[in-house]
Structure 1
């Protein structure tokens, strides 16, 4: 039979262990609970921003989303970095003052707010000064070039309604790719509860030893 002084320390031991384990697992996988982007919602905003009349356009050197980015097999942290870079470029491009004269303000503002929301959450997934890619085959470089070409394209066409409508359609492709990246990231980062990782083992071992010392069981 346990002594009268054991019930409270044992209860606190279990509660402390459970609480700290939950915190560790939650902070160890910040991207796992990230909500996927809703392409249908983005589509609605982009449809609301479509021209009210048919545009007869003669556009030269239209930029298109790089096909090489659609087939990359990325690790979760690489997928997060890629999605974040796309959304950051999209926000910078679509928040341009020249879009105000071509797109309805309400739909434009809703879209920009959604972008800010997803950028904020993706930033929480990546450690400071992270270097997710090494070597020449870096998708972030392809993304930078793609958006640089978009800005050159807009400038060449004097930021016309036709040019912005092409960018609007390209934005839809970007949103769809970001959605695929986040889904892949969540799938690959999901923990297997039947196979504790070394990080969990080390944490549990440290926690148990700390609790033993604290409650005087050692």
Structure 2
């Protein structure tokens, strides 16, 4: 009887420790997970492509992704930048004002993937709290906030038209090129 209690107690301890081990394991493979997410996202975006009407092509705009972000080489800052970019796009794409030709199922799948990856990175960043490079981290965050503010302002100015969303979708595609560069610089 006593032996069963010890076994049960040991099993309970194992169950309680398992989530911590799984989380740590996720963080060990964060870079690989991000690379896969990037690939899956680009495939999904490719599947949502449509032919742009001439009026939309005339009004395409560039949002000037902050090039200083792409110059980041420190793994911690690269991870933070990827998180900020994904978080920024999630905020824009989850807007109720989204008027797009994207199929609802594709949009929902993309948003779910984006949310899950953002949360995964956030959890790993919280586990590996760092206090150095605070100044660089703040500058990068500010650059990205300005970038996303330009996108939001553009959408508002264009009254969230279908063509304005096509510009944003094109920008999202371009941003994944930068995210891929930063992902290669993330810690293993």
> Which residue number corresponds to residue 146 of structure 2?
145
- What is the correspondence of 1:2-81 to structure 2 with a 5 Å cutoff? 27=24, 31-34=27-30, 35-38=33-36, 39-52=38-51, 54-57=53-56, 58-59=58-59, 62-73=62-73, 75-81=74-80
> Which residue number corresponds to residue 113 of structure 2?
114
> Which residue number corresponds to residue 95 of structure 1?
94
Give how far 1:138 is off.
1.6
- Structure 2 unaligned residues grouped into runs of 5+: 1-19
Q: Is the 8 A contact 1:49 1:107 kept in 2?
A: yes
The CA distance in 2 between the partners of 1:139 and 1:80, in whole Å, is 12
| TM-score, normalised by the number of residues in structure 1 | 0.63
- RMSD of aligned C-alpha atoms? 2.9
Give how far 1:52 is off.
5.0
Q: Is the 8 A contact 2:155 2:165 kept in 1?
A: yes
Q: Is the 8 A contact 2:41 2:110 kept in 1?
A: yes
> Which residue number corresponds to residue 134 of structure 1?
135
Aligned in 2, Cα 1:55/1:105: closer, same or farther, shift over 3 Å? farther
The CA distance in 2 between the partners of 1:36 and 1:183, in whole Å, is 9
Give how far 1:72 is off.
2.2
The CA distance in 2 between the partners of 1:55 and 1:103, in whole Å, is 18
Aligned in 2, Cα 1:121/1:155: closer, same or farther, shift over 3 Å? same
Greater fraction of residues in helix = 2
The CA distance in 2 between the partners of 1:77 and 1:32, in whole Å, is 13
The CA distance in 1 between the partners of 2:63 and 2:79, in whole Å, is 24
Aligned in 2, Cα 1:53/1:127: closer, same or farther, shift over 3 Å? closer
Aligned in 2, Cα 1:101/1:70: closer, same or farther, shift over 3 Å? closer
| TM-score, normalised by the number of residues in structure 2 | 0.72
Aligned in 2, Cα 1:135/1:76: closer, same or farther, shift over 3 Å? closer
Aligned length: 163
Aligned in 2, Cα 1:101/1:183: closer, same or farther, shift over 3 Å? closer
> Which residue number corresponds to residue 18 of structure 1?
none
Aligned in 2, Cα 1:45/1:61: closer, same or farther, shift over 3 Å? closer
